[in-house]
Amino acid sequence: MVWTSSALKSAVILNNVFLAISGEQKVMCGIVGAVAQRDVAEILINGLHRLEYRGYDSAGLAVVNLQHELQRVRCLGKVKALNEAVEKSPLIGGTGIAHTRWATHGAPSEDNAHPHVSGNFAVVHNGIIENYEELRALLKSRGYVFTSQTDTEVIAHLVEWEMRSAGSLLEAVQNVVKQLTGAYGMVVMDRMHPEHLVAARSGSPLVIGLGIGENFLASDQLALLSVTRRFIFLEEGDIAEITRRSVDIYDRDGHKVEREAHDSNLENDAAEKGKHRHFMQKEIYEQPTALINTMEGRVTHNNVVVEAIGNGAKDILEKVEHIQIVACGTSYNSGMVSRYWFESVAGVSCDVEIASEFRYRKFVVRPNSLLITISQSGETADTLAALRLAKEKGYMAAMTICNVAGSSLVRESDLAFMTRAGVEIGVASTKAFTTQLVALLMLVVAVGKAKQTLSTEKEQDIVKALQALPAEIEKALAFDKHIETLAEDFAEKNHALFLGRGEFYPIAMEASLKLKEISYIHAEAYAAGELKHGPLALIDADMPVIVVAPNNELLEKIKSNIEEVRARGGQLYVFADKEAGFSEAEGMKIITMPTVNDITAPIYYTVPMQLLAYHIALIKGTDVDQPRNLAKAVTVE
């Protein structure tokens, strides 16, 4: 539906909240805004298309025309439906805002979709307003009528209220944010003064795209790559006023500040699937190139370049006596693998903890302890909160392993080790995980060198293994057709169990996470030695058991665990090294893998697990790239 200004005066709506991944509320929503001399509706919709990876249930946009009428279209479902609605009733105007919403407060519906309007003002918002109930009660006492169930609607009404006494929209928004508790990234538009937009960021990322005679806003630079390559990343507490020819930014205290502009090197077609059926499939196949990019300039023919980790890295790593890793979801699993490496290769003790647990418990900081946060997006709320808490608790230094250069974790850490995975659209991380593992293994070598606990021979062996890995991953991808056939066995399955030992236990955890994320099969992962302590009770002919079995020092142990499953009638799928001595038998299928170096084997064995989850999801008919209830980055807890 298209709304005229008269209709909008009586429509008081607004909302949104966004976030996701790994069991928390998720960064599911997307924001796009524009101030230009040309019509912007097509730019806004194109930007929303590029943000579809985040996950959402409704979409909308609003544009101000030359008659100062605010035209709004909202719909339930995909951006494609929004585009079709706009084609039927074109929106004409050079200033506009758009949004994709993932429901938290209020069910998915057109009424709950963004933009929301109060009087002359339209708002789009990502995040969660924690004190919305008390603000809602206050606004009702002032006579405001609420037409949505969202927490965001209070922002629109607060803006309308504050504008009654404020001298400008900027001042009104500055007054509004002082009343908000929670996380938000928001953009406000005034139909009577469409020459500018005002944006505010607290806990939810926003980026300004700089053009020539036009400027843009978005929650991710990916949304704007078709119109600009130059960006300013807003920092915590920033409020920005954007016009066609100017960008003015103010910090949380109201002081005007300068934020550095950056040129993006992201590819304009990064949000396109190309020849692949899904983004997840594309990103699985991009892993050999992504791993090369991760190692470029950091690995020579026989050593890891410590200085490439960051300025001052060598001095920090020399002093490290303990490492504390904090992360969520897939990033937590990569940290779990690296714990084995830090202790066995570098000789440094290492603990790994889920960020949402770490930040809320009382912990003891060990002497000379390095905090390492891991996050694909660099905006994961719990991980970011853990970093800020760690700074207060006396950690020696903080490092982040991250994929997004302008993110909050990168800006706020002492050292940032970029994974260079490239844009990852699929909600279920693939290349983000393997590039994190490669980055962590390089870091392990760097710590061992700095601490002089790693021999030259061992370093050269690891470097050789790392350099061979991209080609080995290419060969692993050749198992695709075989795994596709294997996946047919899972068509009617509702449960699965993954087993691994040592550093392959976290690989089983990651495999389990991938399967449950995109196929909705209930999957669990166990250290194989734990079978006798409970999981054996689950084993029967309907419970497939997937085992990761490389030819290492724990091979005989894992073989014993496999026999425990066989004795109870379980159906086994064993991904085993060709030298491990397995042969198929009743109730046991063997997927024979080539021999790879022990140190990089966890990374290698990840790829067939990804392919298995992908093909099972295809058979199940689920939305592979945008699985239900999930999204790409968690920007609120």
For the cut 50, the answer to whether the pLDDT of residue 313 exceeds it is yes
Task: Count CB neighbours of 238 within 10 A.
Answer: 20
1 band by pLDDT with thresholds 50, 70 and 90: very low
What pTM did the predictor assign? 0.71
Per-residue pLDDT, 635:
54
For the cut 90, the answer to whether the pLDDT of residue 242 exceeds it is yes
570 band by pLDDT with thresholds 50, 70 and 90: confident
Average pLDDT of every residue of the chain? 89
Strand, coil or helix: what is 227? coil
Per-residue pLDDT, 290:
92
Greater model confidence, 182 or 419: 419
User: And the tokens for 569?
Assistant: 């009638």
Greater model confidence, 97 or 570: 97
Q: Which residue has the tokens 């101030």?
A: 35
For the cut 60, the answer to whether the pLDDT of residue 11 exceeds it is no
Per-residue pLDDT, 531:
82
- List residues bridging with 123 in a β-sheet: 116, 188
28 band by pLDDT with thresholds 50, 70 and 90: low
- C-alpha 585/C-alpha 563 separation (Å) is 11
Greater model confidence, 262 or 120: 120
For the cut 60, the answer to whether the pLDDT of residue 279 exceeds it is yes
For the cut 80, the answer to whether the pLDDT of residue 15 exceeds it is no
For the cut 80, the answer to whether the pLDDT of residue 287 exceeds it is yes
For the cut 80, the answer to whether the pLDDT of residue 636 exceeds it is no
Whether the bond into 194 is cis, omega within 30 of 0:
no
- C-alpha 575/C-alpha 546 separation (Å) is 8
Residues in the chain: 637
Ranking 25-39, 186-200, 560-574 by mean pLDDT, the lowest is: 25-39
Q: Catalytic residue at 29?
A: yes
For the cut 70, the answer to whether the pLDDT of residue 268 exceeds it is no
Per-residue pLDDT, 7:
32
Instruction: For 403-437, write each residue's pLDDT tens digit.
Output: 987 788 988 999 999 998 988 888 899 999 999 99
Distance of CA 204 to the CA centre of its chain: 13
Residues ≥6 apart with Cβ < 8 Å to 226: 43, 46, 47, 50, 268
For the cut 60, the answer to whether the pLDDT of residue 92 exceeds it is yes
Q: Catalytic residue at 632?
A: yes
Per-residue pLDDT, 14:
25
Of 369, 282, 313, nearest to 624 (Cα)? Answer: 282
Ranking 52-66, 145-159, 183-197, 475-489 by mean pLDDT, the lowest is: 52-66
Ranking 93-97, 150-154, 340-344, 429-433 by mean pLDDT, the lowest is: 150-154
Calculate what percentage of the chain has a pLDDT beyond 90.
67
For the cut 90, the answer to whether the pLDDT of residue 542 exceeds it is no
Ranking 224-228, 378-382, 543-547 by mean pLDDT, the lowest is: 378-382
Calculate what percentage of the chain has a pLDDT beyond 70.
93
Instruction: For 230-241, write each residue's pLDDT tens digit.
Output: 999 998 899 999
For the cut 60, the answer to whether the pLDDT of residue 349 exceeds it is yes
For the cut 90, the answer to whether the pLDDT of residue 269 exceeds it is no
Radius of gyration, CA atoms only, the chain: 26
For the cut 80, the answer to whether the pLDDT of residue 502 exceeds it is yes
Per-residue pLDDT, 321:
96
Q: What angle, rounded to 10 degrees, do the helices at 329-341 and 431-451 form?
A: 30
Average pLDDT, integer, range 266-273: 65
User: And the tokens for 195?
Assistant: 């020459």
Greater model confidence, 2 or 590: 590
Per-residue pLDDT, 404:
83
Instruction: For 122-142, write each residue's pLDDT tens digit.
Output: 999 988 888 989 999 999 999
- C-alpha 87/C-alpha 404 separation (Å) is 35
Per-residue pLDDT, 182:
80
3 band by pLDDT with thresholds 50, 70 and 90: very low
Q: Which of 26, 29, 402, 559 is catalytic?
A: 29
β strands within 204-359, DSSP E = 207-210, 215-218, 230-233, 239-243, 247-250, 256-257, 261-263, 322-327, 349-354
Instruction: For 365-399, write each residue's pLDDT tens digit.
Output: 999 999 999 999 898 889 999 999 988 998 999 99
- The C-alpha angle with vertex 595 and arms to 593 and 600, in degrees rounded to 5, equals 100
Mapping DSSP onto H, E and C, the string for 14-67 reads CCCCCCEECCEECECCEEEEEECCCCCHHHHHHHHHHCHHHCCCEEEEEEECCC
Buried b (16+ CB within 10 A) or exposed e, 512-533: bbbbbbbbbbebbbbbbbebee
DSSP assignment letter at 119: T
